[in-house]
Structure 1
Amino acid sequence: MGRVDRASRVIEAPAETVYRALLDREALEAWLPPEGMRGRIERWDPRPGGGFRMVLTYLDAADSPGKTSEATDVVDVGFADLAPPERVVQTAEFHADDPAYAGTMTMTWDLAAAGDRTEVTVTATGVPPGIDQAAHEEGIASSLANLAAYLGAAG
Structure 2
Amino acid sequence: MGRTDSASRTIAAAPERVYTAFVNPDDLLAWLPPDGMTGHFEHFDAQPGGTYRLVLRYPSHAAHGKTSAEEDVVEARFVDLVPGSFVVQAIDFVSDDPAYSGTMTMTWSVTTEQDGTLVEIRAEDVPAGISADDHAAGLASSLDNLARLLER
**Taking structure 1 as the reference length, what is the TM-score of the superposition?**
0.93
- In structure 1, the partner of 2:102 is 103
* 1: CA distance, partners of 2:131 / 2:2: 14
CA deviation vs aligned residue, 1:110-150 (integer Å, no higher than 9, x gap): 11112561000101011110100111011011101100101
Q: Give 1:10-89 correspondences, 5 Å limit.
A: 10-60=10-60, 62-89=61-88
CA contact (8 A) 1:14 1:116 kept: no
Aligned-residue CA RMSD (Å): 1.3
- What is the deviation of 1:99? 0.4
- What is the deviation of 1:11? 0.7
- In structure 1, the partner of 2:143 is 144
CA contact (8 A) 1:14 1:115 kept: no
* 2: CA distance, partners of 1:124 / 1:22: 15
- What is the deviation of 1:78? 1.1
* 1: CA distance, partners of 2:17 / 2:114: 12
CA contact (8 A) 1:85 1:111 kept: yes
Q: Percent identity?
A: 50
- What is the deviation of 1:51? 2.1
- In structure 1, the partner of 2:9 is 9
- In structure 2, the partner of 1:92 is 91
- What is the deviation of 1:65? 1.7
Q: Give 1:118-137 correspondences, 5 Å limit.
A: 118-137=117-136
* 2: CA distance, partners of 1:38 / 1:18: 21
Runs of 4+ in 1 over 6 A off after TM superposition: none
- What is the deviation of 1:83? 1.1
**Taking structure 2 as the reference length, what is the TM-score of the superposition?**
0.95
CA contact (8 A) 2:42 2:54 kept: yes
* 2: CA distance, partners of 1:77 / 1:143: 17
